[in-house]
């Protein structure tokens, strides 16, 4: 059967700069394609071209007759003052449904996306609920193809899981831009990466994200080997040319032409291989090694009559990386403001170490002056940036964060969302910190930048508080998780898998013992499974995970020597509970390591 649509040799430039050149792709029925690539490669522009919102500079786009393509933008905007029901009815305008049928469809869709109040004004919705509303409007249009641009950016964990289930069970096809690696792993049947690192400007691989990574590594490794081979051949041909041809024979002319061709090919391959550079800086830490950088004791907070959390006890020390989980509006950002001293709790004590230095990444980027140029944002007072006792010219510092020299005079407001996030990271990394507070740092960041951010956080010697919906980042970086569960309840977890298991247990009905026994008896013996690509990567990092977990246990145990804790039975009991959870995490890591080793 022919594809739903086919794009052939699509090219597009922006302000004289090529975004992509002669891209070709197609989409089959019920296919779920993840579209990835570094910031600035034109992913959103390509999606708009496919949606008919922009035109390509060249190329052809053919579609199956009657194809319904629905596009959901990265930012959700709705007419002010309308209710949820009115917005949903607008999505059905132009359909052949009568009033009763239209109302029925709206009610069904509200239930499907879990909107309790159809009379709520859209202006009062959070970013996550606006995204759900945008998706509901798209579904009401009954698409054959759904185009999604960063749909997980404003969704909380529950919303992301809901969206994954929706897409996996959908009858329509999906083309989605996302940098959420767990999301791509769970929903994709094919991955396409736009990147000038590849000969065609893109790489398309069938399978999920793990399979894509394995194939991508093979492609880049082969390309690196090709560069080495070309280097050797070019060197040999140049040496021959320098000796001078003995005669103007046909063979000599051929060798001269071949040398030129090899030099051109080497230049192209070298250019492609150089596209895979990443950010080169880490966060700066102070030399403080205090056991108690920050202590919260019995902290409670209400907002608008809603109890967010109560009687919260928390101690942050050196190398503790705390991840915070919770639905949108649960109080995560409020807790960050209390921790940083921007807001007072209703009850309880917040005690900071003397001269504590806190550096914060704010999800709204309020500390980023968008009216100045990139040069002024990176180096406000001179042409040099001070970083760990050394001076760097602003042009070189900008290149560390993947900016081109010609961008230095561009206003920050004209940069993309991902580029603005990199500007903020570049500024924050120059500030020595005891505690890093990162509030949704991953929005708009591409995958290569996310990977560097992870490594920077793992290397940071201070404490980290991380609020993010990026499950991969949360799972890899955090040594301790705090879940804000609503109604004032909070709970600590050793790792993301423990929290996820609890959520599954809440929603999965228990099976009877008889049923379980029958299933076990009738189940066929399982053949030994080889490690998947994701499991191979997990095994490669397991030793480091165990080391980090054991160091965390040792740091917690050291707190038992602090007189203020030992003489306070409440603190001692809370600390022992945390130590027990940390030790259980070590045990789980060892068991997992043994399991993976046994299957290798």
With contact defined as beta carbons under 8 Å apart, do 433 and 358 qualify? yes
| Residue that wins the pLDDT comparison between 375 and 275 | 375
Could you tell me the pTM of the whole model?
0.74
Chain-centroid distance of CA 514 in Å reads 43
Tokens of 342: 């921007």
The top-level CATH class assigned to 294-505 is alpha beta
Query: What pLDDT band is residue 199 in, cutting at 50, 70 and 90?
Result: confident
Identify the helix (H) or strand (E) that includes residue 482. Answer: strand 480-486
**Which residues in 64-199 belong to E strands, given as ranges?**
69-72, 145-149, 173-177, 190-194
pLDDT in the model for residue 528: 41
DSSP SS3 for 392: strand
**How does residue 516 score in pLDDT terms, banded at 50, 70 and 90?**
very low
514 confidence band (pLDDT: 50, 70, 90): very low
* Strands lying side by side in the sheet with 5-14: 17-27, 5-14, 58-63
Mean of the pLDDT values across residues 456-474? 90
Strand partners, 315: 295
Q: How far is CA 222 from CA 216, 219, 261, 295, in A?
A: 10, 5, 20, 52
Q: Which residues contact 434 (CB under 8 A, 6 or more apart)?
A: 285, 286, 288, 290, 293, 353, 356, 357, 358, 462, 463
Convert the pLDDT of each residue in 266-306 to its tens digit: 777 777 767 766 666 778 878 777 678 999 999 999 988 89
Residue 566 has pLDDT above 60, yes or no: no
Q: Which CATH number fits domain 5-213: 3.30.565.40, 2.170.120.12, 3.30.1160.10, 3.40.50.300?
A: 3.40.50.300
User: Distance between CA atoms of 130 and 119, rounded to whole angstroms?
Assistant: 14
Which pLDDT band, with edges at 50, 70 and 90, does 43 fall under?
A: very high
User: Which of helix, strand or coil describes residue 196?
Assistant: coil
The mean pLDDT of 160-173, rounded to a whole number, is: 92
Average pLDDT, the chain: 84
User: Which three-class secondary structure state does DSSP give residue 491?
Assistant: strand
Q: How far apart are CA 135 and CA 574, in angstroms?
A: 43
The residues with which 324 forms a beta bridge, in sequence order, are 467, 482
C-beta neighbour count of 237 within 10 angstroms: 18
pLDDT, one tens digit per residue, over 238-265 is: 777 777 655 445 556 666 777 777 777 7
Task: State residue 524's pLDDT score.
Answer: 34
φ and ψ at 65, to 5 degrees? -60, 135
Q: Return the number of other C-beta atoms located less than 10 Å from residue 270's C-beta.
A: 12
pLDDT attached to residue 62: 93
pLDDT band at 515 (very low <50, low <70, confident <90, very high): very low
Kindly give, in sequence order, each residue whose CB lies less than 8 Å from that of residue 351, ignoring residues fewer than 6 positions away: 292, 294, 295, 296, 297
């Amino acid at each position: 059967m022919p594809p739903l649509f086919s794009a052939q040799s699509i090219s597009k430039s922006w302000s004289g700069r090529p975004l992509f050149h002669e891209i070709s792709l197609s989409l089959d029925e019920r296919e779920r394609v993840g579209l990835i690539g570094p910031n600035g490669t034109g992913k959103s522009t390509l999606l708009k071209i496919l949606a008919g919102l922009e035109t390509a500079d060249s190329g052809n786009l053919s579609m199956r007759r009657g194809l319904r393509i629905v596009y959901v933008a990265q930012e959700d905007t709705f007419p002010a003052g309308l209710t949820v029901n009115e917005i949903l009815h607008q999505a059905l305008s132009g359909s052949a449904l009568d009033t009763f049928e239209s109302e029925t469809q709206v009610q069904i869709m509200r239930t499907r996306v879990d909107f309790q109040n159809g009379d709520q004004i859209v202006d009062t919705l959070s970013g996550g609920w606006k995204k759900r509303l945008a998706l509901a409007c798209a579904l009401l249009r009954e698409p054959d193809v759904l185009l999604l641009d960063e749909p997980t950016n404003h969704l909380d964990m529950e919303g992301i899981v809901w969206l994954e289930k929706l897409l996996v069970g959908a009858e329509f096809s999906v083309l989605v831009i996302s940098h959420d690696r767990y999301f791509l792993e769970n929903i994709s049947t094919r991955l396409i990466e736009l990147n000038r690192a590849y000969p065609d400007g893109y790489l398309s691989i069938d399978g999920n994200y793990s399979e894509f990574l394995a194939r991508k590594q093979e492609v880049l490794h082969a390309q690196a080997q090709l560069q080495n081979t070309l280097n050797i051949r070019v060197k040999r041909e140049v040496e021959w040319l320098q000796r001078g041809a003995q005669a103007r024979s046909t063979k000599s002319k051929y060798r001269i032409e071949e040398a030129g061709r090899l030099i051109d090919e080497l230049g192209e391959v070298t250019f492609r291989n150089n596209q895979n550079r990443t950010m080169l800086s880490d966060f700066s830490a102070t030399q403080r090694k205090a056991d108690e950088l920050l202590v919260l004791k019995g902290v409670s907070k209400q907002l608008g009559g809603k109890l967010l959390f109560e009687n919260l006890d928390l101690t942050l020390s050196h190398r503790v990386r705390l991840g915070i989980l919770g639905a949108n509006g649960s109080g995560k950002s409020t807790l960050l403001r209390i921790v940083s001293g921007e807001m007072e709790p209703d009850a309880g004590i917040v005690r900071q170490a003397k001269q504590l230095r806190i550096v914060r990444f704010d999800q709204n980027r309020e500390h980023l002056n968008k009216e100045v140029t990139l040069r002024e944002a990176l180096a406000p007072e001179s042409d040099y940036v001070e970083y760990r006792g050394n001076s760097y010219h602003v042009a070189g510092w900008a290149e560390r964060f993947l900016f081109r020299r010609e961008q230095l005079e561009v206003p920050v407001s004209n940069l993309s969302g991902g580029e603005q996030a990199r500007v903020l990271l570049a500024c924050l990394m120059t500030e020595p910190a005891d505690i890093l507070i990162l509030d949704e740092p991953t929005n708009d960041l591409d995958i290569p930048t996310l990977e560097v951010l992870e490594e920077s956080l793992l290397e940071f010697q201070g404490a980290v508080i991380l609020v993010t919906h990026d499950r991969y980042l949360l799972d890899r970086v955090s040594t301790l998780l705090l879940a804000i569960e609503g109604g004032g309840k909070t709970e600590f977890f050793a790792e993301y898998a423990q929290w996820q298991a609890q959520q599954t247990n809440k929603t999965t009905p228990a099976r009877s013992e008889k049923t379980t026994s029958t299933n076990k008896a009738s189940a066929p013996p399982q053949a030994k499974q080889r490690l998947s690509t994701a499991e191979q990567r997990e095994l490669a990092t397991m030793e480091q995970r165990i080391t980090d977990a054991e160091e965390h246990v040792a740091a917690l145990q050291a707190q038992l020597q602090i007189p203020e804790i030992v003489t306070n039975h409440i603190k001692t009991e809370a600390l022992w509970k945390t130590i027990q959870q940390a030790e259980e995490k070590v045990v789980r890591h060892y068991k997992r390591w043994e399991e993976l080793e046994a299957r290798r």
